[in-house]
Amino acid sequence: MKYFSILLIAYCSFSCSFLDFSDKGIEEPALVKFDDSYLYPTDLRGIGIGLSPHDSIQNVEKFIEDWIRNEVVLSEAKKDSLINKNDIEDKLKVLRRDLFIYEYEKNLLEKNQDTSISDGDVLAFFEANPSNFLLKQNIFNGYFIKINRKSPSFNKVKKLLKEGNEGGLVQLGEIVTQEANTYHIDTLIWHNFDDISRNTPFEKITNQKKYLKNNKFEVRYTKDFAFVIKILTYKLTSEIGPLEFHEEMIRNTLIHKNRRRLIQDNEENLYNKAKKEERFEIYF
């Protein structure tokens, strides 16, 4: 089996890539036969390719063995008198229908890939559904930097961040991109306090609400690192979060709604067209 698999991998790597066994006059040779079922080289196309020779052989051998095992079980299942064969056929018809519709609708969406959502649409959805945007976590807008406490730029980072003037913040960006281990300095982004504080000394804060209300700038340390936080604004659990925090989710929601509307409108158009052309009749 091992040497057979080596030959099979080589065969599938080259022959299956270039031969079209569906061409008239070319009959694809079977690799495995079980009763009246056959496994062909094209059924293994891609199996084991790109892996090491050892892993490729194992993948091919497992695929073949799994195919045989499934055929053995399927053979017995077909003999089982307790299985309703008509019910199986009905389910297959439904599955086939659903697969055709799924592929058709997927192609329809790919042909109409307009995912542009205007800022006005985002704002309108946000204002119309305030209860959807109640926060489940405390969030803040500001800066968070993790830097080696022995870095020659550490004190400079603290100074620039604490002062917060525009020119200094530009310089801060240049420093942290080179020396900081972690940094969040885009003030257009809101941060989940739990996410930012995880695995840092700030994780020990038990009352986040009180902390956010009473702290604007702080540095905490571990043995090797300094963690600097500067809070500009914040929102607390159960408050309505800012639009910026929810914007991506809103855009994805509106894109999904537009896609569903496209599918529904297309279905309605096809139905009305078929009705106009009298392509169906109702007998009750």
pLDDT of residue 19: 46
Task: Tell me the two tokens of residue 87.
Answer: 């019910």
Task: Tell me the two tokens of residue 188.
Answer: 């257009």
Strand pairing partners for 234?
140
Residue-wise DSSP of 128-170: H-GGGGB-SS-EEEEEEEEEETT-TTHHHHHHHHHH--HHHHH
Task: Tell me the two tokens of residue 171.
Answer: 């310089």
Strands (E), the chain: 32-34, 37-39, 139-148, 182-184, 190-192, 217-221, 225-235
Q: Are 225 and 171 in contact (CB under 8 A)?
A: no
Tell me the pTM: 0.71
Q: Which residues of the chain have pLDDT under 70?
A: 1-26
Sign of the alpha-carbon dihedral angle for 9, 13, 14, 15: positive
pLDDT tens across 60-69, in order? 889 999 999 9
pLDDT tens across 166-224, in order? 888 899 999 999 999 999 999 999 999 999 999 999 999 999 999 999 999 999 999 99
Q: Are 122 and 254 in contact (CB under 8 A)?
A: yes
pLDDT of residue 258: 94
pLDDT of residue 18: 43
pLDDT of residue 208: 96
Q: What is the number of other CB atoms lying within 10 angstroms of the CB of residue 60?
A: 24
Q: Are 56 and 9 in contact (CB under 8 A)?
A: yes
d(CA 122, CA 157): 37
pLDDT of residue 233: 96
